[in-house]
């Protein structure tokens, strides 16, 4: 009797949907003890048995998982508690109210229950529950689920139906016993680049490396490796030693240990200890010990070669069927091209976003350094001031969106004022001494940095982006870009437009260009070079402040925020060509794409990427000392 | 016949005399050879300061005399330190490893010793092999040669590339800064072969001199630093005087005109740039055994900018000014940041100098640049009664080089 039930339970485990529905009451009676005191290890068959009994079994499992299953105190009848209502767990009949002791299965047991419920839930009338069940299924799919899924393929919701069909094919690839069905499923995906599809193919193509004297017929061999070419001789021989197929080679450590064991009266094999600091003497001592039979002869080079020749070193698929692995390999190769293209697209997006960050950091500099020729080492600190302005604004205005809207102009005002002050107090006096401007503004930079440290402390301050900037825009598994980066890209475009508008369409821009090209002539025309210089410098600094808010949204706001960008910003302007915004744009694009490109070639090491990028720039300057877009004519003389 | 160098420039004699007196005084007061009034760590600080002064004098040669504001000098300084540090580290580790391996029953082979040394040194970066750049690290002579060669070669290549494409002014400054940043970032990697951000440590222990003791060793290093500073100063003063120096100064003042006169401007610049790099490398090689540790942070661009700050505060364009600036600012800095300076109570706020020193330094730097372009050394002019002609007053026009009011009237 017991055996029959176990067999039933096993059947239920293997083919739950195909199993005949046995009586729920009988199953409960059979497994009563386990139901009352379930354990995660042994509850599986019981749950499957209950699930196999039909909808009432599912209701029981649902209640059990929800901790709504109990025992009536009077007679120990298994009941489902739903608020005040009691129903018989076995039949679903309503019962009069009574005292109930609730069963409390632990989370492991509830996990088993919910998995079993997934099958039933796949055909649940509620689409939300069906979707949930599909999620559960795709997370933990095995052969048994395939049958469940196939039974529930029809779905009124076309979206869910497509998901089910896709999941069914994925499960077919992995678990169907029929190779033809698996190959059909693999080929059905075409050049799909989904992570799930690749994840399904990978276990099929998993290989293990073996050393065999003869290749058994029917072995699904991925590749035969020849020692010395595909696999190093040492590694190949180590495989043989590990498998016990060949004697170990003598390592220096082993030789040393063995020699130490045979010290006799200050000699080893007739060689004095003092001489054993040389390899030749050690070999002599070893040979002597060998001839006395005291040590095992070690494998010589010839023996190693012979052993390596005797064995075949193979990568063997775990999957026995060759047609399946061939199809999987072909499918994977097909996806690889598309994946490569998408990765290139993703990399370009990354590079574009990095370029827009550099552009944003450099655009203020393009005005102060590029147009005015003033080298402002405190530019980075203006970026930092902007970021801290954003942080302080957030302390007063809780609403993130509103605080951002307030912070952007506020940062502009703060850094504009700081820039004007710097220009009036320091830079004005140094227009004819550019190197000293560099040093004086550096003095300002270290003072500002330390000031920020004194006020805000050394730890990073959060500048949190509004919720609508969280998350990422994902095209598929590979291509995606976060909204903040898109926002920065847009901001960079806006600033480019703003710069072009101010410089080419406004009175200020006209005067700025006039003063840069020929201050004497501009002054004769009634333009005050002093005032224009002040405003231009303020404008450049103000833009740095706004860039600071943007950069602060994704980078840590610390007092070193600015100095992290300053060298790159100068590089951007210099590489691009001083005095030309399109040059700055080109410089930012070049540096951004270059850095990402180098990172892609050597992904483990972003430090190296920066090193090589700077080296590249140093060499680039050799060939185009005036940058990508060189200033021409009169403007070049001033720059 | 021309008078000897030191008579033509009496400031050299004064400088050397002051240096000698200083060294003698420190020796007399040191724990190793005198009363012990100056602690060993102070002797080391003074010795390091002399090395920094040497680097500053070399910086002055490049900046004050040729007008190249190099913001990468500390790269040469740190490279010198790394080169000597490699030998110090290998030799010392070898001593320790040989000592521990000697207790084994079978004497170790050379390969085993070198393997153990490599494991000991490179274990922190997950390697047990000597990188190729350590090929000479076993030989003191080899590494000493590298102290000169590596900074010299770097300066030669970099300078040749930069000068031949006529990069100058602020562009050159930014480029030198990029160079030191690139080098620092490279050295920060673990697989750069110089132990990544761990750097080289334990350099204060000189192999073979364990018995001497730090209190006497520190004085030895002080002597060596003073000697290097004296010789370096003499050499730079010699280079900067005479015809060569005149051309160099002319390049600073108007490069194009010198070129049109037929001088090879690039050649002059390159010679001076490389010479300064070599001297800076030697200064570094003396500095880091006193500091005991070197890591890539020493190459950060900020360190080189500080060097420029010292030279500017001291007074660029005259060698003793650079030395005074380096000694003065670095000692005052370490006094303020070491927490020894008393807090300043303003009533409403207590100024802690550890926090505010940087602000003060930055602002005083702006003030020196604006109001005292001659720096501290300008005081010497004041003492001698030298006054520059007062060209002051507002410029008459906004163009570069416009006459200024008083110039026009006088």
Q: Residue A211 pairs with which residues in a beta bridge?
A: A313
- pLDDT at B115 > cutoff 60: yes
For residues B394 and B405, the answer to whether their CB atoms sit within 8 Å is yes
Q: In this predicted model, which residue has the larger pLDDT, B11 or A633? A: B11
Residues of B with Cβ-Cβ distance to A429 under 8 angstroms: 370
- For every residue of A409-466, which 3-state class applies, written as one string? HHHHHHHHHHHHHHHHHCHHHHCCCHHHHHHHHHHHHHHHHHHHHHHHCCCCECCCCC
pLDDT at B265: 93
pLDDT at B344 over 90: no
Indicate yes or no: CB of A619 within 8 angstroms of CB of B161.
Answer: yes
Given this model, what pLDDT does residue A631 score? 62
Which residue in B170, B182, B402 is closest to A438 by CB distance?
A: B170
Is pLDDT of B79 > 70? Answer: yes
**Burial of residue B377 (number of CB atoms within 10 Å: 0-12, 13-18, 19+):** buried
Residue for token pair 């001497």: B212
Question: Which has the closest alpha carbon to A386: A206, A212, A497, A543?
Answer: A543
Among A373, A376, A446, A619, the residue to mutate for chain B (most B Cβ within 10 A) = A446
- Give the pLDDT band (50/70/90) at residue B159: very high
N-to-C CA span, chain B: 40
CA distance A232 to A239: 11
CB contact under 8 A, B182 and A449: no
The confidence score (pLDDT) of residue A228 equals 76
Measured in whole angstroms, how far is the alpha carbon of residue A151 from the centre of its chain?
Answer: 36
What distance in Å separates the CA atoms of residue A235 and residue A243, rounded to the nearest whole number? 12
Residue A313 pairs in a beta bridge with A211, A225
The overall longest dimension of chain B from CA atoms, in Å, is 94
| The token pair that represents A232 in the structure block | 């190093």
Q: What local confidence, expressed as pLDDT, does residue B109 receive?
A: 80
What are the DSSP E strand ranges found in A511-552? none
Please indicate whether, in this complex, the C-beta atoms of B165 and A621 are within 8 angstroms of each other.
Answer: yes
| Matching residue, tokens 């990544």 | B196
Which of B69, B165, B359 has the CB atom closest to A625's CB atom?
B165
Confidence bin at B294 (pLDDT 50/70/90): very high
> Looking at A247-261, A393-407, B159-173, B198-212, which range is the least confident one?
A247-261
Q: How far apart are CA B199 and CA A225, in angstroms?
A: 42
State in Å, rounded, how far the first CA of chain A is from the last one.
99
Mean pLDDT by 10 residues, chain A (639 residues): 53 46 73 75 76 73 77 79 77 77 77 71 75 73 69 76 80 79 78 74 80 77 78 81 77 77 78 78 80 73 79 81 81 81 86 89 83 84 93 90 91 95 90 81 90 89 82 76 86 90 90 85 89 91 91 86 80 80 89 85 73 82 77 48
Q: What residues in A contact B164, CB-CB < 8 Å?
A: 622
Which residue reads 């600190």 in tokens? A381
> How many other C-beta atoms are found inside a 10 Å radius of the C-beta of residue B298?
23
Do B284 and B51 contact (CB within 8 A), yes or no? yes
Is 90 exceeded by the pLDDT of residue B151? yes
Q: Which of residues 99-158 of A touch B (CB under 8 A)?
A: none
How far are the Cα atoms of A256, A281, A283, B96 from residue A275, in angstroms, in the given order?
Answer: 13, 6, 11, 22
pLDDT at position B393: 60
Q: Which residue in the set A279, A444, A621 is minimally distant from B362, CB to CB?
A: A444
How far apart CA A324 and CA B111 sit, in angstroms, is 52
- How close is the nearest chain A Cα to the Cα of B365, in Å? 6
% pLDDT > 70, chain B = 93
**Cβ contact B105–A440 (<8 Å):** no
**Cβ A208 vs Cβ A239: under 8 Å:** no
Q: Where is pLDDT greater, at B144 or A129?
A: B144
Quote the distance between the C-alpha of residue B393 and its chain's center. 38
| Least confident among A252-261, A366-375, B246-255, B387-396 | B387-396
* Whether the Cβ atoms of residue A143 and residue A113 lie closer than 8 Å to each other: no
Residue B9: CB atoms within 10 Å: 19
DSSP 8-class letter at B65? I
Give yes or no for residue B76 having a pLDDT over 90.
yes
Chain B touched by A266 (CB under 8 Å): no
Per-residue confidence at B15, pLDDT binned at 50, 70, 90? very high
> Could you tell me if A531 lies within 8 Å of chain B, comparing CB atoms?
no
- If one counts every other C-beta atom within 10 angstroms of the C-beta of residue A486, the result is 17
Q: Ranked by mean pLDDT, which of A238-252, B255-269, B302-316 comes out on top? A: B255-269
A514 CB within 8 Å of a chain B CB: no
Give per-residue pLDDT as tens, A335-390: 888 888 888 888 888 889 889 988 988 888 888 887 777 888 889 999 999 999 99
Dihedral sign for Cα atoms in the order B254, A371, B368, B174: negative
Distance CA B123, CA B120 (A): 6
Structure-block tokens of residue A583? 């040059």
CA-based nearest residue to B23, from B289, B223, B215: B223
Confidence (pLDDT) at A432: 75
User: Strand A312-317 to strand A94-95: parallel, antiparallel, or no bridges (unpaired)?
Assistant: unpaired
Nearest in space to A357 (alpha carbons), one of A551, A500, A541: A551
Name which of B108, B186, B366 is nearest A611 (Cβ-Cβ).
B186
- The distance of Cα B111 from the centroid of its chain, to the nearest Å, equals 38
Q: Is A608–B110 a contact, with Cβ atoms under 8 angstroms apart?
A: no
E-strand spans in A244-311?
263-264, 267-268, 271-272
Cα B281–Cα A609–Cα A347 angle in degrees, nearest 5: 170
How high is the pLDDT of residue A345? 87
Confidence of residue B387 (pLDDT cuts 50, 70, 90): low
Q: What is the pLDDT, as a whole number, of residue A35?
A: 75
Q: Do A520 and B358 touch (CB under 8 A)?
A: no
pLDDT at A635: 47
pTM, full prediction: 0.76
Q: Can you give the C-alpha Rg of chain A in angstroms?
A: 38
Nearest to B318 by CA among B99, B115, B15, B1: B15
Which pLDDT belongs to residue A7? 52
Question: How long is chain A?
Answer: 639
Which residue's entry shows tokens 């608020």?
A83
Q: Nearest-CA distance from B268 to chain A in Å?
A: 19
Given phi > 0 = left and psi -120 to 50 = alpha, else beta, which region is B272? alpha
The sign of the CA dihedral A36, A39, A40, A42 is negative
Which A positions 279-308 lie with beta carbon below 8 A of chain B?
279, 282
Between the CA of residue A231 and those of A210, A315, A329, what are the distances in Å?
12, 11, 22
Distance between CA A143 and CA A14 in Å, rounded?
Answer: 8
| Closest chain A C-alpha to B337 CA, distance in angstroms | 13
Residue (of A250, A249, A291, A284) closest to A268 by Cα position: A284
For residue A47, the 8-state DSSP code is: H
In this structure, what token pair is assigned to residue B141?
Answer: 């002579």
Instruction: Print burial letters for A365-376: b (CB count within 10 Å at least 16), e (below 16).
Output: bbbbbbbbbbbb
> Which of chain A's residues have a Cβ under 8 Å away from the Cβ of B110?
277
Q: What is the pLDDT of residue A16?
A: 43
CA-to-CA separations, A365 to A449, A495, A575, B176, B265, in angstroms, rounded: 18, 13, 13, 19, 31
- For B283, list phi and psi in degrees, rounded to 5: -60, -40
Show which of residues 353-382 on chain A sit within 8 Å of chain B, judged by CB atoms: 375
A298-302 contacts, C-beta under 8 A, 24 or more apart: A298/A247, A298/A248, A298/A249, A298/A250, A298/A255, A299/A246, A299/A247, A299/A248, A299/A249, A299/A250
- Ordered alpha helix ranges (H), B61-122: 73-101, 110-122
> Which residue in this structure is represented by tokens 């002059």?
B268
Contact at CB, B356 and A574, closer than 8 angstroms = no
Q: Computed from CA positions of residues A398, A403, A404, A408, in that sequence, does the dihedral angle turn out positive or negative?
A: negative
Token pair, residue B271, equals: 């010679």
d(Cα A447, Cα B362) in Å, to the nearest integer?
Answer: 5
Which of A279, A450, A617 shows the shortest C-beta gap to B358?
Answer: A450
Distance between CA atoms of residues A598 and A592, nearest Å: 10
- Number of H helices and E strands in chain A, helices first, is 26, 13
Residue-level pLDDT at B182: 87
Name residue A207's beta-bridge partners: A317
Per-residue confidence (pLDDT) for residue A639, from 0 to 100? 36
Of B110, B173, B369, the CB nearest to A443: B369
| Ranges A355-369, A625-639, B221-235, B251-265: which has the least confidence | A625-639
């Amino acid at each position: 009797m017991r055996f029959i039930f176990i067999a039933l339970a096993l059947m239920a485990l293997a083919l739950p949907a195909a199993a005949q529905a046995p009586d729920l009451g009988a199953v409960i009676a059979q497994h009563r003890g386990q139901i009352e005191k379930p354990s995660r290890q042994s509850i599986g068959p019981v749950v499957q048995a209950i699930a196999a009994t039909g909808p009432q079994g599912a209701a029981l499992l649902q209640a059990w998982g929800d901790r709504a299953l109990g025992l009536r105190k009077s007679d120990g009848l298994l009941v489902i508690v739903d608020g005040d209502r009691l129903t018989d767990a076995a039949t679903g009949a309503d019962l009069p109210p009574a005292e109930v002791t609730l069963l409390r299965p632990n989370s492991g047991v509830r996990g088993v229950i919910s998995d079993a419920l997934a099958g039933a839930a796949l055909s649940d009338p509620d689409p939300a529950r069906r979707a949930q069940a599909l999620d559960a299924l795709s997370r933990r799919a095995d052969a048994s689920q395939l049958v469940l899924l196939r039974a529930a393929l029809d779905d009124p919701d076309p979206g869910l139906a497509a998901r089910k069909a896709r999941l069914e094919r994925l499960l077919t690839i992995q678990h169907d016993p029929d190779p033809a069905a698996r190959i059909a499923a693999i080929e059905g995906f075409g050049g799909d680049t989904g992570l799930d599809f690749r994840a399904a193919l990978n276990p099929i193509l998993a290989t293990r490396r073996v050393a065999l004297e003869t290749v058994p017929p029917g072995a699904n061999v991925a590749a035969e490796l020849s020692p010395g070419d595909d696999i190093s001789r040492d590694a190949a021989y180590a495989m043989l030693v590990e498998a016990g197929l060949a004697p170990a080679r003598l390592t220096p450590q082993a030789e040393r240990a063995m020699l130490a064991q045979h010290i006799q009266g200050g000699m080893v094999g007739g060689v004095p200890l003092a001489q054993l600091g040389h390899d030749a003497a050690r070999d002599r001592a070893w040979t002597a010990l060998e001839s006395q039979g005291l040590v095992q002869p070690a494998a010589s080079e010839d023996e190693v070669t012979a052993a390596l020749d005797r064995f075949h070193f193979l990568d063997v698929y775990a999957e026995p069927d060759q047609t399946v692995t061939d199809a999987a390999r072909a499918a994977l190769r097909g996806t690889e091209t598309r994946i490569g293209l998408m990765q290139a697209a993703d990399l370009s997006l990354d590079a574009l976003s990095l370029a827009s960050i550099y552009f944003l950091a450099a655009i203020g500099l393009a005005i102060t350094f590029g147009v005015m020729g003033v080298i402002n080492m405190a530019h980075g600190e203006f970026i930092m001031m902007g970021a801290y302005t954003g942080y302080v604004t957030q302390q007063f205005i809780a609403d993130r969106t509103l605080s951002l809207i307030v912070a952007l102009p506020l940062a502009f005002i703060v850094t504009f004022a700081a820039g004007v002050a710097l220009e009036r107090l320091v830079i004005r006096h140094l227009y004819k001494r550019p190197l000293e401007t560099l040093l004086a503004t550096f003095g300002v930079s270290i003072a500002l940095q330390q000031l920020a440290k004194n006020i805000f402390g050394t730890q990073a301050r959060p500048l949190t982006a509004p919720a609508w900037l969280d998350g990422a825009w994902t095209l598929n598994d590979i291509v995606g870009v976060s909204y903040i980066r898109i926002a920065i890209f847009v901001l960079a475009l806006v600033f480019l437009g703003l710069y072009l508008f101010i410089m080419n369409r406004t009175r200020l821009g006209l005067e700025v260009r006039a003063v840069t090209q020929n201050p004497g002539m501009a002054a004769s025309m009634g333009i005050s070079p002093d005032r224009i210089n002040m405003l231009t410098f303020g404008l450049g600094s103000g833009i740095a402040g706004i860039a600071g808010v943007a950069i602060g949204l994704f980078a840590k706001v610390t007092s070193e925020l600015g100095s992290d960008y300053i060298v790159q910003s100068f590089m951007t302007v210099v590489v691009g060509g001083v005095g030309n915004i399109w040059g700055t744009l080109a410089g930012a694009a070049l540096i951004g794409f270059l850095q990402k490109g180098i990172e892609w070639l050597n992904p483990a090491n972003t430090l190296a990427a920066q090193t090589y990028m700077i080296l590249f720039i140093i060499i680039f300057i050799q060939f185009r000392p005036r940058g990508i877009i060189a200033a021409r004519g009169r403007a070049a003389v001033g720059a | 016949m021309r008078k000897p160098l030191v008579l033509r420039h009496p400031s050299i004699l004064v400088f050397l005399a002051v240096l000698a007196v200083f060294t003698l005084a420190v020796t007399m007061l040191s724990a190793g050879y005198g009363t012990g009034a100056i602690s060993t760590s102070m002797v080391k600080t003074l010795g390091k300061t002399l090395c920094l002064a040497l680097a500053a004098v070399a910086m002055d040669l490049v900046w004050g005399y040729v007008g190249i504001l190099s913001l990468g000098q500390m790269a040469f300084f740190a490279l010198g330190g790394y080169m000597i540090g490699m030998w110090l580290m290998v030799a010392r580790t070898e001593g320790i490893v040989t000592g521990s391996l000697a207790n084994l029953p079978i004497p170790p082979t050379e390969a085993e010793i070198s393997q153990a040394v490599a494991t000991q040194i490179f274990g922190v970066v997950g390697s047990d092999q000597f990188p190729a750049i350590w090929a000479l690290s076993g030989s003191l002579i080899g590494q000493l040669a590298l102290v000169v060669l590596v900074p010299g070669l770097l300066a030669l290549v970099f300078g040749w590339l930069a000068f031949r494409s006529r990069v100058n002014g602020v562009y050159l400054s930014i480029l030198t800064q990029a160079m030191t940043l690139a080098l620092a970032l490279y050295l920060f990697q673990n697989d750069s072969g110089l132990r990544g951000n761990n750097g080289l440590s334990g350099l204060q222990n000189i192999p073979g001199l364990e018995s001497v003791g730090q209190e006497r060793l520190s004085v030895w290093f002080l002597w060596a630093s003073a000697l290097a500073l004296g010789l370096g100063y003499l050499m730079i003063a010699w280079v900067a005087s005479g015809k060569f120096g005149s051309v160099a100064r002319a390049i600073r003042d108007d490069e194009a005109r010198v070129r049109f006169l037929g001088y090879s401007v690039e050649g002059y610049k390159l010679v001076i740039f490389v010479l300064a790099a070599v001297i800076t490398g030697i200064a570094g090689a003396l500095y880091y055994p006193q500091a005991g540790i070197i890591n890539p942070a020493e190459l950060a661009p900020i360190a080189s900018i500080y060097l420029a700050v010292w030279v500017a505060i001291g007074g660029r364009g005259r060698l003793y000014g650079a030395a005074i600036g380096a000694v003065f600012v670095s000692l005052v800095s370490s006094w303020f940041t070491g927490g020894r300076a008393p807090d300043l109570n303003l009533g409403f706020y207590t100024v802690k100098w550890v926090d505010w020193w940087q602000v003060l330094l930055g602002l005083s730097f702006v003030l020196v640049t604006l109001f005292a372009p001659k720096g501290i050394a300008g005081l010497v002019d004041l003492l001698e009664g030298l006054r520059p002609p007062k060209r002051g007053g507002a410029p008459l026009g906004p163009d570069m080089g416009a006459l200024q009011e008083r110039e026009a009237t006088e």
